[in-house]
Chain A
Amino acid sequence: MRGTIRRRQVLAAGTTAAGLLALPGKAPAAGGAKPLSGVTLNISCWSAPYPLLLAKYIPEFEAETGARVIYTTPSFPIYNQRMGLALATKSDAYDVVNVTFIFIGQWVGAGWVMPLDPFIADPARTPASWDAKDFFPGTTTAFRNAQGQLCAIPWIADVMMGGASRYDLIRKAGLGLPDTFAEMPKMLAAVNGKDGVPGFLTENHYGWTFPGYLQGFGGNIFRNPPHDLMPVLDTPAAVEAAGFFSDLLRKYAPRGALSYTYDEVVAALKSGKVNYATENEAFVTQMAQPGSTVTETCGFSLFPAGPAGRFPQVATHGWGIPAGSRNKDAAWQFITWAMSQKLLLRMFREHGWSSVTRRSIVELPEFRSKLTFNGFDVAKMYLDTVELAAKGYMAYRTVPPYPQVDRQIDIAIQGIVSGEKTAQQAMAAAQRNSIAQLRRAGVKL
């Protein structure tokens, strides 16, 4: 068994030495066997727009390298559950996995995905032209372990922004997209229900969609992450933010808003069934892509600012290699192929994939122009938001016990929107339960 692996490693190293696979599109060495024939790679990620798009290109990878790729994209909760179980048992079931943002603390922290620096530094495995430094530092810092080693390559800078499917209705009301929280209720009240379209919606993962409002009102999740993890969910600012956010959902959202998952929100936006949302750029920009019925009437803006400032949430997910994988070199080949400048540029040009993490692509003039929809300069909004996030307010999200607090926020907002609790009660409960959960996870408060 070990002999086979060594042989494969030599073969793989030898081929990448020619740098052929880092630049897809070039013909493989004439007369040679395909470098990865006989290798089966198990690759999985949650069903975000980028992985779904990548599926279209994987047959090219298979044709070039001779590898067989088993590619699965379950929904977000199922993916995280499965991956958590698989990684925890050091299973060899997967070779390339998505390192989900909120689990970075757990998965990277526990060493379940291996450091990639040796692969990057090795010129036989990674040609210099691949340029690992091209990725936004804001996105790579998240994936560094305690020793500073990079453990995943980011495939998305998932930025929050505002998007409207029926900007025409907003303009008809004589208003524009809100730039501050103060403008939001006015705009939503004016357009809610016009043409049968409810005004507002976000996905029911409130642990993700709410913190932008929380921080905008001057609140936060923890006192000073990553060192001081005392939750501060019951401060007056937090309660005000929760009340404000829940109010929007209560007054201007469609019926059953609490049950809308991210893919349902995307479907609703694309078909014009709901007007305005503060959601991921990768989601809202689908309104401007083919397959949407609102390409002519969609509009975009930065995430609104609150009294304490503008805090658009930015997440990043990345490709990593599990510690138990038996095809690590082949896995790295896949990652270099998938994250190569050439492929990402093609994905942008052919399908409009725009939440790119390579600065070189984002700074291209054509990126700018292609991401201008109906006069809205989305590229600029994207870049501005990525710069904002570098300030560090996202630190709360990568502490290992964050998933438990994330759920408490979900529960709190659901309780307020459904009328079961007041904002005060719900946030106080979230505070209590988060402290209990953190203590249980061994955090010293």
Chain B
Amino acid sequence: MMRKPAVASGAGRRARRRRVRRGLAQGGAAVLLLAVLAPVLWLVLMSFRPSGATLAATLAFTPTLANYRALAGGGFPASFANSLMASTGSTVLSLLIGVPAAYALARHRFRARGRIAMWILVTRMAPPVAFTIPFFLVFSDLGLIDTVPGLIIVYLTFNLALVIWTMRGFFASIPASLEEAAWIDGAGVWSTFRRIALPLAAPGVAATGILCFIMSWNDFFFALILTRTNAMTAPVAIVNFMQYAGWEWGKIAAAGVLVLLPVLAFTFFVRSYLVSGGMAGGLKE
């Protein structure tokens, strides 16, 4: 019951110091997090301020939904729907085309494997402006300007690469032994894929799909140039709205909050995957 003297108290002191240090670290981390998130919280606060109230002055005000209600009319809800359709469509298409390709790259040593990876990396290097002129001209001829299918196709430029890159990492991290056993038993490559590999990689597919959705949802540049009214997405609608609304910050803030909500929600679902640093896929190589 009595602690041993001398050695024990030394250890106790060290343990206490470590506890204090840990407490400080946690406190510091919490403060830092609050500081980093403060701008976002301020945006949310602003969206509930009644218009006309002095903007930066006080923290106390009576919250109101007026700004959000003002967004209901006009083209904002439609732009939301467009964002939803373009993002979902692009995600589904990219997964359909990209996941099998990623599996093939993971399981078979193609000679061109290195070159394909290099090609994917180079496409990531190109600024959006490099793609927009050719896409604009081709879409004009094909009548795809200002359409949601047009956006879905354009988003393939980054989503397909993302799917192939990350899913290859996922498949590579699954040991091939189960599949090899199935192959020895005479099963075909793709039936094995369907029955064994895909279910095992399902969490990865879900996470990658959500990443594609987020990247499509967040796109600004392509939508700015390639859409006008029918297919305008939410990010472009805010900018349009900003200059139209005579700088009514309450409404702008409300629009911003609405546009970021889906992304935050989805991020919540893939948080562990993102946090584990698997996003770039570079570590797994």
Contact = CB atoms under 8 A, between A and B. Distances in A.
- Do A and B interact directly, with beta carbons closer than 8 Å? yes
Interface of A: 42, 47, 70, 72-75, 78, 82, 85-86, 89, 91, 93, 261, 263-264, 266-267
Interface of B: 136-137, 140, 145-146, 224-225, 228-229, 239-240, 243-244, 246-247
Contacts of A263: 243-244, 246-247
Contacts of A89: 137, 140
Contacts of A86: 228
A91 B247 contact: no
Contacts of B239: 78
B228 A72 contact: yes
Closest 3 CB pairs of A and B: A75-B243, A89-B140, A267-B246
Given A70-B229, A72-B229, A85-B136, A93 B244 contact: no
Given A72-B229, A78-B240, A85-B136, A93 B145 contact: yes
A47 B243 contact: yes
B240 to A, nearest CB: 6
B228 A261 contact: no
Contacts of B240: 74-75, 78
B228 A82 contact: yes
Contacts of B146: 93
A91 B244 contact: no
B14 to A, nearest CB: 54
B222 to A, nearest CB: 14
Contacts, number: 37
B244 A75 contact: yes
17 contacts: A42-B229, A70-B229, A74-B240, A74-B243, A74-B244, A75-B240, A75-B244, A78-B243, A85-B225, A89-B137, A89-B140, A91-B140, A93-B228, A261-B243, A263-B247, A266-B246, A267-B247
B231 to A, nearest CB: 12
Contacts of B243: 47, 74-75, 78, 261, 263
Contacts of A73: 244
A47 B246 CA distance: 10
Given A72-B229, A264-B247, 20 more contacts: A42-B229, A47-B243, A47-B244, A72-B228, A73-B244, A74-B243, A74-B244, A75-B243, A78-B224, A78-B240, A78-B243, A85-B136, A86-B228, A89-B140, A91-B140, A91-B145, A261-B243, A263-B246, A263-B247, A267-B247
Contacts of A75: 240, 243-244
Residue among B146, B243, B246 having the largest count of chain A Cβ atoms under 10 Å: B243
Contacts of A82: 228
A267 B51 CA distance: 13
A261 B247 CA distance: 10
Nearest to A75: B243
A290 to B, nearest CB: 14
A276 to B, nearest CB: 20
